């Protein structure tokens, strides 16, 4: 699975977590998912820099 599709899937999961909880509240699962998205995004950014 490509990193781009992993980011999309993780973003959808994060949205579900946030929809289930109230506004201003984040579960540990949501925080971990956000960190995973950040890590994937950094990887994509790094690969893009290498190409140019």
pLDDT of residue 12: 93
- Can you give the pTM of this predicted structure? 0.76
Cβ neighbours, 10 Å, residue 24: 5
pLDDT of residue 21: 82
Domain interval for residue 20 = 3-51
Reported as a single tens digit per residue, the pLDDT across 2-52 is 888 888 999 999 988 888 887 777 788 888 999 999 999 999 899 889 988
Q: Distances in Å between the alpha carbon of 22 and those of 1, 19, 31, 37?
A: 32, 7, 14, 21
Domains in the chain: how many in total? Answer: 1
Report how far residue 50's alpha carbon sits from residue 41's, in angstroms, rounded to the nearest whole number.
Answer: 14
H helices present in the chain, as ranges: 3-20, 28-51
């Amino acid at each position: 699975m490509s990193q781009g599709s992993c980011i999309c899937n993780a973003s959808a999961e994060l949205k579900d977590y946030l929809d289930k909880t109230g506004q201003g509240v984040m579960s540990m699962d949501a925080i971990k998912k956000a960190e995973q998205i950040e890590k994937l995004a950094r990887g994509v950014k790094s690969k893009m820099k290498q190409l140019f």
